[in-house]
Amino acid sequence: MKTFPMFLQMRGRRVVIAGGGEQAAQKCRLILKTEAKITVLASGLDPELADLHQQGRIEWSDLPISSDSFADTALVFVATGCPGMDTCLHDLAKQAGATVNVVDQPDLCDAITPSIVDRSPVVVAIGTEGTAPVLARQIKTKVEQMLEPRLGDLAAVAGRLRARAAQRLGPRDRRDLWRWVFNGPVRQLHATGAERNATAKLKEAIDTGKFGASDAPAVALVGAGPGSKDLITLRGVQRLQEADVIFYDRLVDPEILDLARRDAERVYVGKSPGCHHWPQDKICRVIVSAALQGKRVVRLKCGDPGVFARGKEEADALAEAGIACEIVPGITAASAASAALGGFLTERGACDTLVLATGQSELGQSDLAV
């Protein structure tokens, strides 16, 4: 990433917009959705900005502009419509240490305005680092269609009830609660306009602790696929996003771990040939221990957990401890290697048998004839 996405706290903070025409008005419309204090610097205002000033929604200064005009700001937008004037004002703002966005001049921008899907407090920002604004708008249109118009109201209700849930439910139950809320009947009720019923159902679930908790077992043995992050299954991604702790080995593509919850604990349990800092019995013990602590656990394995991955030993250890586990299959390296070469493992009329065998058995070299 050349740019880093971040949401800024805007309540009570000062935003300066330099310019009094249509470009400045566009930025005003955007920032008026926040709780920032807006000051417009211009010798004159177009009718829209003049009306906003008359309503008391923005401040206006027609005094000569200096670097002090941009002091103590959260953001500065330079939008006069004149490239030369914009460059001069950019230099003054930078002298004041401001974070600056200059309209239509990305080389002068410290911050780039994204395309925004607003379901406040749910806000989706889409950026292309200034390279493809049309693509950003297309993505925005698709996201708008995905999210129901009143989803933000439901998120606000959940926010108001978070403290109540924290008083009555443990961390694991809270995660299951919110998963149930946003994937199940509460969201469905709210989307149909039954906001009161949805809120009542949520409060009842918090107070009683009775709700449709996740049906997924506490431990998932997940196949990461043959290496590329786009070859893991959708269920595998879902389990990664639900996990509290992820145990992974050295063959897993690091980018796959980016699909997990950001606050999930990641534990490397990789083995190297002839250097086993993590023998299998130790791996089994830590997986069982994490599950017994009430954590949602993912054991992430390259390829498929059921093909030469020692998944059976981990499943047996969990069963002995009375812990249910789910096997999430992945694309085995055998079929991936064939696909990478543009070939197939079977062919009608030519090859109708497929045998998978390891080249290294527990006792050493395999007896497999090559």
Q: Give catalytic residues, as residue numbers.
A: 249, 271
Contacts of 109 (CB under 8 A, 6+ apart): 100, 101, 102, 130
Picking from 214, 210, 290, the residue whose alpha carbon sits closest to that of residue 245 is 290
Cα distance between residue 248 and residue 197, in whole Å: 43
The C-alpha atoms of residue 240 and residue 249 are separated, in whole angstroms, by 15
Q: Count of residues for the chain?
A: 370
How do strand 115-119 and strand 122-126 relate by DSSP bridges? antiparallel
Beta strand pairing status for 14-18 and 37-41? parallel
Tokens for 316? 């047996």
| The amino acid at 147 | L
d(CA 73, CA 41): 13
Closest alpha carbon to 93 in 119, 121, 74: 74
Q: Which residue from 158, 173, 159 is spatially nearest to 209, judged by alpha carbons?
A: 173
Is 224 in a helix, a strand, or coil? coil
Q: For 9-41, give the DSSP string.
A: P-TT-EEEEE-SSHHHHHHHHHHTTTTPEEEEE
